[in-house]
């Protein structure tokens, strides 16, 4: 039986909200180290750098988390925004220390966390490849051996000698993933960065992670893409509010997660704007589904059109902004993604501060009967995410009498009404 390469035992991480750190001089710290030699300088630094005021509040980003990852295994970590997924990866990457518990890592760790982590903006792409290799503990010859393969995968041959501060977020992400995946760490940690890339590059990334696991290396994959988790992972861990809810097969865990907290009334509102998706530039207010009679619903007749509405507030002028939604099947397969930049009046326009409603009409006889989920998002032309809310609404499309008068559900996700003409030609 394969030995675990990642072993997490009773891991907890506490943060202080509104805390102000108290700082000590280097001399004071050394004096205390002399007074308490058994405690050690390292412990004193850790203790004194986290002094806080008494009126601060605490929050547990992770609480008593335990799981294992075996050699060659791909494990998906799923959960809503703020569930603690990224905090877990930062602890495993040694970016932050846990408050309680312990982690055992067997092998070299390569991390691909949020875009911008790990590279120096003033250095070129060429130089950053060698820098990251050195961080992983590789010598120059090892990096050189993989260099051409990394650049080709990232598709950045023309820009490899350009400082990465001039890269778009998509270019940055492509190079970061290529380096992390090709420098052969025994453990690869991947956060939800694939959302930045285009569909073709996402496909390449998923294929590369599959190759990594086949080579006997382990992958911990944080994602909101349920189809990718189902396809790529051997097991999945569902985290909510810092606590593991369930560990099991991807299909089982994804199903449980998708059905947790889904609004089935056809509408979701955020009355507390401080907790609504978005930031100081834009906030999502309400998302809803209307039937062909303009009535709120979560159950649709597949023969009739329906409408998806998104209400949001814009607080500062935003150029190249778009708002849209994704519609996915019960098992996480994306059926289609639509954005309001298809309204020609708003292509390239600046959205001035104000209250907005984006409305999309979906024709009848498009979706097959079944259960679907709607997720909502907004971004800028440079792919910067403004807000994102996955699996916000649940839809049931009902099977009705089809044009063929057959009561048998046809295969496929969609069920379009197509025009046919039959003629006898001989």
Same domain flag for 61 and 111: yes
What CATH number did the domain enclosing 335 receive?
2.70.50.60
Same domain flag for 42 and 59: yes
- As a whole-number percent, the residues of the chain with pLDDT over 90 amount to 34
Cα–Cα dist 267/299, whole Å:
12
Dump pLDDT digits (tens) for 75-86: 999 987 778 998
Same domain flag for 136 and 215: yes
Same domain flag for 183 and 291: no
Dump pLDDT digits (tens) for 95-115: 889 999 999 999 888 877 765
What CATH number did the domain enclosing 59 receive?
3.40.50.300
Average pLDDT over residues 315-342: 88
> What per-residue confidence (pLDDT) applies to 42?
39
Same domain flag for 274 and 298: yes
> What per-residue confidence (pLDDT) applies to 174?
82
> What per-residue confidence (pLDDT) applies to 327?
92
| Within a domain: 282 | yes
DSSP symbols for 101-123 = EEEEE-S-EEEE-STTSS--TTS
> What per-residue confidence (pLDDT) applies to 38?
41
Domain range for 247: 4-259
Same domain flag for 101 and 168: yes
pLDDT bracket for residue 223 (50, 70, 90): confident
Single residue among 224, 259, 294 that ends a domain in this structure: 259
Task: Tell me which of 145 and 173 has the higher pLDDT.
Answer: 145
Same domain flag for 201 and 234: yes
Nearest to 44 by CA among 52, 55, 36: 36
Computed over every residue of the chain, the mean pLDDT equals 81
> What per-residue confidence (pLDDT) applies to 154?
87
Dump pLDDT digits (tens) for 355-406: 999 999 999 989 988 889 899 999 887 668 899 888 889 888 886 555 544 5
Nearest to 359 by CA among 311, 304, 294: 311
Residue 164 burial by Cβ neighbours in a 10 Å radius (0-12, 13-18, 19+): buried
Task: Tell me which of 309 and 251 has the higher pLDDT.
Answer: 309
| Within a domain: 417 | no
Q: What is the DSSP letter of 399?
A: P
DSSP symbols for 402-426 = -TT---SPPSSSB------------
Cα–Cα dist 3/78, whole Å:
24
Least confident of 118-132, 284-298, 395-409: 395-409
Same domain flag for 183 and 319: no
| Within a domain: 152 | yes
Same domain flag for 203 and 321: no
Domains contained in the chain, number: 2
Same domain flag for 254 and 275: no
Q: Nearest 5°: CA angle at 118, between 154 and 127? A: 60
pLDDT bracket for residue 54 (50, 70, 90): very low
> What per-residue confidence (pLDDT) applies to 114?
60
Same domain flag for 220 and 358: no
Single residue among 259, 292, 317 that ends a domain in this structure: 259
Same domain flag for 37 and 174: yes
């Amino acid at each position: 039986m394969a030995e675990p390469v990642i072993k997490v035992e009773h891991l907890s991480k506490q943060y202080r909200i509104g805390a102000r750190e108290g700082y000590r001089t280097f001399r004071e710290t050394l004096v205390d180290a002399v007074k308490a030699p058994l405690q050690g300088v390292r412990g004193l630094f850790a203790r004194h750098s986290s002094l806080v005021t008494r009126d601060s509040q605490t929050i547990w980003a992770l609480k008593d988390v335990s799981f294992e990852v075996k050699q060659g295994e791909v494990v998906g970590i799923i959960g809503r925004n703020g569930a603690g997924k990224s905090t877990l990866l930062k602890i495993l990457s040694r970016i932050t220390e846990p408050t309680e518990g312990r982690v055992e890592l067997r092998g070299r760790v390569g991390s691909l966390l949020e875009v911008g982590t790990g590279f120096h903006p003033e250095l070129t792409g060429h130089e950053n490849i060698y820098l990251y290799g050195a961080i992983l503990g590789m010598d120059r010859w090892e990096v050189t051996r993989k260099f051409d393969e990394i650049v080709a995968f990232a598709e950045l041959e023309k820009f490899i000698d350009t400082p990465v501060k001039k890269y778009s977020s998509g270019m940055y992400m492509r190079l970061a993933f290529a380096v992390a995946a090709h420098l052969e760490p025994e453990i690869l940690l991947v956060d939800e960065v694939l959302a930045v890339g285009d569909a073709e590059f996402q496909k390449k990334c998923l294929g590369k992670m599959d190759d990594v696991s086949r080579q006997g290396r382990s992958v911990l994959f944080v994602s909101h893409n349920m189809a990718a988790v189902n396809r790529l992972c051997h097991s999945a861990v569902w985290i909510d509010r810092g606590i593991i809810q369930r560990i099991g097969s991807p299909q089982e865990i994804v199903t449980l997660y998708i059905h947790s907290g889904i609004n089935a009334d056809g509408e979701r509102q955020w009355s507390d704007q401080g907790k609504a998706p978005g930031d100081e530039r834009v906030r999502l207010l309400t998302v809803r589904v209307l039937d062909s009679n303009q009535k709120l619903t979560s159950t649709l007749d597949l023969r009739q059109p329906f409408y998806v509405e998104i209400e949001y507030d814009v607080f500062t002028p935003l150029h190249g902004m778009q708002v849209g939604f994704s519609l996915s099947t019960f098992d996480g397969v994306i059926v289609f993604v639509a954005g309001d930049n298809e309204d020609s009046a708003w292509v390239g326009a600046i959205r001035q501060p104000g209250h907005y409603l984006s409305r999309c009409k979906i024709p009848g006889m498009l979706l097959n009967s079944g259960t679907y989920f709607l997720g909502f998002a907004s971004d800028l032309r440079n792919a910067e995410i403004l807000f994102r809310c996955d699996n916000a609404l649940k839809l049931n499309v009902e099977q009705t009498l089809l044009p063929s008068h057959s009561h048998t559900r046809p295969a496929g996700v969609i069920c379009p009404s197509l025009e046919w003409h039959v003629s006898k030609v001989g």
